[in-house]
Structure 1
């Protein structure tokens, strides 16, 4: 996409013509406002918005509806509103009082801003505990008191992280203040087992008699995967690439119409998230994965479900062979 050309001639005093479209001048001046500090929740929502913007490959002037963003992120409109106003101060978004929020530049031009939100982990304590568990430095059962001393954090901060891990299936609360770690992908053997499990159930979902692809979601997935192929993989960070991959697999599992397949795929994605983040940082991003995704989607669009299932099985098997040898992801 060529860089946008701004033309002020012939436009009203309060408008600029950008690529033939009239935009408020406040969009051009938004970066002059001083950014404010965000809470952890607002930071996460801002990161999610940037991920969606880049995944959808939005263009300059595209609208960002608060209600839609809140639904896709899974939060209320309040933190979304704060996050959007913060993006206004960073020059990514502009706000029109009567019409709402719009992109002040294309998604392909916000790489530098996005990197600010992905360079540092959203919750360092979460990563510390997870990394220590993967390295087997934490026992199967832990107490809140011991964890508070070990990581020098308050009980409220610790419980927030433990609750998140519980939601993702890593932990189970015991009687009293104890927590039990659940089986995790914490070894090369477990990592390979997870791929063998996925290779067994995901293609089966496509061949399920209740399988039905949502056309709107299908076109959206194709557009996002095409963006990665067209060069997005060069600028997207490991978190964005993993989430785009998860969305692809979880959406197809949902189309199966089988709640157990959909739940299993979603749970597997949660369990492998940390390992994938660490491994992705150690390898060069590739567009081959997105090309394989597109081939599977094309087969589904053409109603050739036998081919789609075979391609998906080959895709998962190929990923297993390529990744299970990277044992360094489990080293401390």
Structure 2
């Protein structure tokens, strides 16, 4: 946990481009990361040992260098295991080595861990939505993005709900939140695509899509987007080795934010549909099997121009 939270702190500092000497307040970090102060303090002490932060007994923790100096540390954290047991279970399930239903005793023997350790990891997996507890000490795996077909289906699902969310009568965007998301995407375009870690790039992508889903005003759309992002996380980190497409995707995110800000939700919806279709064709291992011989998909510019003429009005809080 200490290493994981330290990694999250470094990611926040890099995301927000914090300067040297910036005060890292424990309470604020705990709120942003979603944990309590004690593990945050332990993580900050660990970062102090690494020389990333300095500690003043009376004033707290401060950045020893600016965010641009943390690339090596971020890469080091990215290359270290998130949670070995979690990753082992995920890897074995994706490889078909674990059946649909498993018992705790079987998993304890397989991974040579105590029940308390196993249950903590299974609880995390349950929160992410790809396992549920059965009767007694049994657990049942739920649907995952574990094949080319499933990956392709996930994009079709995302197109249906994310486009619908943009056209929801309850859509309300938060201008301050929009500017925060815009700044994060602009940093990727301005060079972050080549320096950010795989985890940071994925998180920035998730922040954008979850923000738009939240603005839909529909709790079910928002919850669905969050859950599918959790499932995507298991299989997408390796795809960031080809980083250049991340820049283009961030540029498309910016175009959608511009459309939302100028009250053109139909245009934003057309861009979202085209964006997800392009990402599906780029990333999905089985995408080409589904794309041959059909009608030509309109380009992003054509889609935006055609849909933008509808002139839908957006509402802000």
- TM-score (structure 2 length as normaliser): 0.85
Q: Are positions 1:221 and 2:178 aligned together? A: no
Q: Distance in 2 between matches of 1:45 and 1:245?
A: 20
Segment of structure 1 superposing worse, 298-307 or 47-56: 298-307
Matches within 5 A, 1:1-80: 41-80=1-40
Specify which of 119, 122, 132 is matched with residue 159 of structure 1.
Answer: 119
How far, CA to CA, are the matches of 1:305 and 1:107 in structure 2?
35
- 1:52/1:326 CA distance change after superposition, 3 Å: farther
Contact persistence 2:188–2:247 (CA under 8 A)? yes
Between the aligned partners of 1:93 and 1:303, the Cα distance in structure 2 is: 43
What TM-score comes out, normalization by structure 1 length?
A: 0.82
Any conservation in 1 of the 2:74–2:197 contact (CA below 8 Å)?
no
Moved more, 177-186 or 56-65: 56-65
The question of whether the paired residues in 2 share the 8 Å contact of 1:299 and 1:308 is answered with: yes
Task: Tell me if structure 1 keeps the 8 A contact 2:130–2:144.
Answer: yes
1:9 matched residue in structure 2: none
Q: Which runs of 5 or more residues in structure 2 are unaligned?
A: 288-317
Kept in 1, the 8 Å contact 2:152–2:286? The answer is no
Distance 1:88 1:304 in 2: 47
Partners of 1:77 and 1:94 lie apart in 2 by: 18
1:85 equivalent to 2:68? Answer: no
Of the three residues 99, 102, 105, the one matched with 1:145 is 105
| CA distance, structure 2, for counterparts of residue 135 and residue 87 of structure 1 | 35
How far did 1:326 drift?
6.4
User: Matched residue pairs, number?
Assistant: 286
Structure 1 partner of 2:303: none
Aligned equivalents of 2:228, 2:159: Cα separation in 1: 12
Aligned to 1:101: 61
Please list every run of at least 4 consecutive aligned residues from structure 1 whose deviation after the TM superposition is greater than 4 angstroms: 96-99
Alignment of 1:112-261 (within 5 A): 112-261=72-221
**Contact 1:184/1:190 (<8 A) preserved:** yes
Q: Contact 2:149 / 2:286 at 8 angstroms: preserved in 1?
A: no
Name the stretch that deviates more: 76-85 or 172-181: 76-85
- Displacement, 1:250? 0.6
Q: Which moved more, 1:318-327 or 1:193-202?
A: 318-327
Cα deviation for residue 222 of structure 1 reads 1.1
User: Which secondary structure state, in structure 1, belongs to the residue aligned with residue 172 of structure 2?
Assistant: coil
C-alpha distance in structure 2 between counterparts of 1:44 and 1:315, whole Å: 31
1:96 is displaced (CA, Å) by 4.2
Whether the aligned pair in 2 keeps the contact of 1:249 and 1:265 (CA below 8 Å) is yes
Correspondence for 1:276: 236
Does structure 2 conserve the Cα–Cα contact (< 8 Å) formed by 1:93 and 1:103?
A: yes
- Report what 2:300 is aligned to: none
- 1:293 alignment counterpart: 253
- The alpha carbon displacement at 1:62 in A equals 3.0
The answer for the alignment partner of 1:317 in structure 2 is 277
Contact kept? 1:207, 1:306, Cα under 8 Å:
yes
Give SS of 1:184's match.
coil
- State the Cα RMSD in Å: 1.7
| Offset from partner CA, 1:261-294 (integer Å, 9 cap, x none) | 101101111111101123334x335311111111
Gaps of 5+ in 1: 1-40, 328-332
Partner of 2:71: 111
